[in-house]
Structure 1
């Protein structure tokens, strides 16, 4: 089960790379790209599965900080919602560069929370 868990963590990191990399690639002309939308979807779904497996499978030995997971979940939901809305509006010709900035910055904030919020 640990192999599956580690694969999911790698997928989760690839989702973050898609959001942040997609944001950096459109920084001169900000827009929400399809890569950013799919990265946000992957982040949310893989994060949910990672926490679900960690909580359900005793042999993984995971003990999550539920406050941290809750904050990250809320931010991830906002990232997905803003990415979806921004991409849909852009397809209709109503694009707003602020959507891209919100998605990119919140993805970085979520990564920083993952790394810096520790249980000391």
Structure 2
């Protein structure tokens, strides 16, 4: 394994940890979006963009990307982050808006299905 493959794999692990934060925070059953969910959603977008950039620019990774899938996942990830940010901001103001929690968590799960099942 060369250095670029190692760095790519570290970013993949970080991406999965962001996913775990969003889905795990949602699965915890809190009525409000937690700080962990917000940071997980942010991490998903950043690491996802880094992964696509690395896959496109480093020939030794041997990745052939489906840009329609990448675009779909990015749109969903931005929606997850938006709902998480809004839900967390409302929770800080004392407003309980459970649909934002469900939207962020549910769309994060949808993104997992897109990642795994879209071939």
Unaligned segments of structure 1, at least 5 residues: none
- The root-mean-square deviation of aligned C-alpha atoms, in Å, is 0.7
1:16 equivalent among 1, 16, 19:
19
- After TM superposition, list the pairs within 5 Å mapping 1:55-70 onto structure 2: 55-70=56-71
- After TM superposition, list the pairs within 5 Å mapping 1:27-106 onto structure 2: 27=29, 29-106=30-107
Q: TM-score, normalised by structure 1?
A: 0.94
Counting matched residue pairs gives 116
Alpha-carbon deviation of 1:94? 1.8
Equivalents in 2 of 1:7, 1:110: separation in Å? 20
Equivalents in 2 of 1:89, 1:52: separation in Å? 34
Unaligned segments of structure 2, at least 5 residues: none
Equivalents in 2 of 1:30, 1:52: separation in Å? 36
